[in-house]
C-alpha cells in the first residue's frame, strides 16, 4: 500500500512539474521613453509591468512593478535628438559652438555654403555598385554595405520624416545596414536576410501602424529624365561622416520595378 501511495505522489508531482513547464506564471514588459531635460541631456524612463497568465497562457490584468529613470546625453542628428526628439534651436547651437570654441566668424553665422552636388555617371561604381549593373534596391543596398569598412560612420537619412518619433529613435539605434534592411522590408521588398531580434522588433512596431503602400507614398521621390523618358523614382539617402563634413549619397530606384536608376552625391 505504501508503495502505491508513493507512486501516486510521484505521478502527481510530475504532472504538476510538466504543467508548470508548459505555462509561465507571468510575463514582464518594460516600456522605454525619453524626455528632454535641457540642451545637453534627457531622461530615459523605463516603466515595468507584470502580467499574470491564465491557464491558457493568456495575459490578465497587469501589475505595476516600478519605474527607473536614468540620465543621458542627447544624440543629435541634424540638430534633433534621435532619442527624445529635442530640437537644438539656433541660439542653443550658437551657444554650444562658442563653448566648444568653434563659433562661426562674426557676420557669417547665417551663411551656409552651397552644397556641391554631383550626378554620378551610370558606368561609375561607388561602393561597389553602378547604375549600369541594373541591380534592384535590395541588391544595391546590400552591396553598398558589404563594401564599407566596419569603421565607416554612416546612417540612414530622412527617417524622422518617414516614421513617428518613437520608431525613428528605435531605428536610429540600429547599425546602419539594419536601418536600411528594415526600411526595405517595410517597403514590402523581399530582403531575404535575417534581422537581429532588435531589428525585428523595430520592423514589427513600424508595420503595426503603416503599410508598404503608405510608406512608399511617403518616401522622398524625384522624376528623372532617363533615356528620353521621365522616370519616377523613390530615393534612399545614406549620410556619411567625413573629415570635411557630412556627405549624402542619394540612391534613386524606379518605382515600377525597384531598379537602381541614378546616384547623386551631395557634399
Which pLDDT does position 207 carry in this prediction? 95
DSSP, residue by residue, 71-119: EEE--EETTEETTT--B--HHHHHHHHHHTT-PPPTT-TT--PPPPEEE
**Integer distance in angstroms from the first to the last C-alpha of the chain?**
89
Spatial separation of the C-alpha atoms in residues 62 and 53, rounded to whole Å? 10
Task: For residue 84, report the phi and psi dihedrals to the nearest 5 degrees.
Answer: -100, -10
Which pLDDT does position 50 carry in this prediction? 85
Tell me whether residue 6 is exposed, middle or buried, using C-beta atoms within 10 angstroms of its C-beta: 0 to 12, 13 to 18, 19 or more: exposed
Which pLDDT does position 213 carry in this prediction? 95
Spatial separation of the C-alpha atoms in residues 50 and 151, rounded to whole Å? 40
Give me the residues of the chain with pLDDT under 50, please: 1-6, 8-23, 103-110
Ranges assigned E (strand) in 121-244: 154-156, 221-226, 229-242
Which pLDDT does position 112 carry in this prediction? 57
Residue for grid cell 530606384:
253
Contacts with 6 (C-beta within 8 Å, 6 or more apart), sequence order: none
Which pLDDT does position 244 carry in this prediction? 78
Which pLDDT does position 16 carry in this prediction? 45
**Model confidence over 191-213: pLDDT tens digits?**
999 999 999 999 999 999 999 99
Amino acid at each position: 500500500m505504501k508503495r502505491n501511495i508513493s507512486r501516486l505522489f510521484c505521478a502527481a508531482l510530475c504532472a504538476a512539474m510538466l504543467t508548470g513547464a508548459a505555462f509561465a506564471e507571468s510575463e514582464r514588459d518594460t516600456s522605454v521613453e525619453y524626455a528632454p531635460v535641457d540642451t545637453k541631456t534627457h531622461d530615459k524612463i523605463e516603466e515595468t509591468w507584470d502580467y499574470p497568465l491564465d491557464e491558457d497562457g493568456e495575459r490578465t490584468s497587469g501589475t505595476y512593478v516600478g519605474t527607473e529613470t536614468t540620465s543621458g546625453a542627447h544624440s543629435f542628428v541634424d540638430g534633433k535628438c534621435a532619442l527624445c526628439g529635442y530640437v537644438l534651436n539656433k541660439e542653443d547651437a550658437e551657444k554650444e559652438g562658442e563653448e566648444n570654441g568653434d563659433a562661426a566668424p562674426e557676420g557669417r553665422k547665417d551663411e551656409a555654403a552651397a552644397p556641391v552636388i554631383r550626378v554620378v555617371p551610370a558606368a561609375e561604381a561607388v561602393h561597389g555598385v553602378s547604375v549600369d549593373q541594373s541591380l534592384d534596391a535590395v541588391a544595391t543596398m546590400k552591396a553598398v554595405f558589404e563594401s564599407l569598412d566596419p569603421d565607416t560612420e554612416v546612417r540612414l537619412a530622412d527617417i524622422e520624416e518617414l516614421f513617428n518619433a518613437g520608431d525613428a529613435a528605435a531605428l536610429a539605434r540600429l547599425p546602419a545596414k539594419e536601418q536600411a534592411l528594415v526600411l526595405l522590408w517595410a517597403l514590402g521588398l523581399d530582403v531575404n536576410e535575417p534581422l537581429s531580434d532588435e531589428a525585428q522588433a523595430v520592423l514589427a512596431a513600424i508595420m503595426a501602424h503603416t503599410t508598404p503602400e503608405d510608406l512608399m507614398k511617403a518616401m522622398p521621390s524625384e522624376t528623372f529624365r532617363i533615356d528620353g523618358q521621365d522616370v519616377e523614382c523613390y530615393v534612399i539617402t545614406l549620410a556619411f561622416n567625413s573629415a570635411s563634413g557630412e556627405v549624402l549619397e542619394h540612391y534613386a530606384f524606379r518605382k515600377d520595378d525597384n531598379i537602381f536608376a541614378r546616384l547623386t552625391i551631395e557634399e
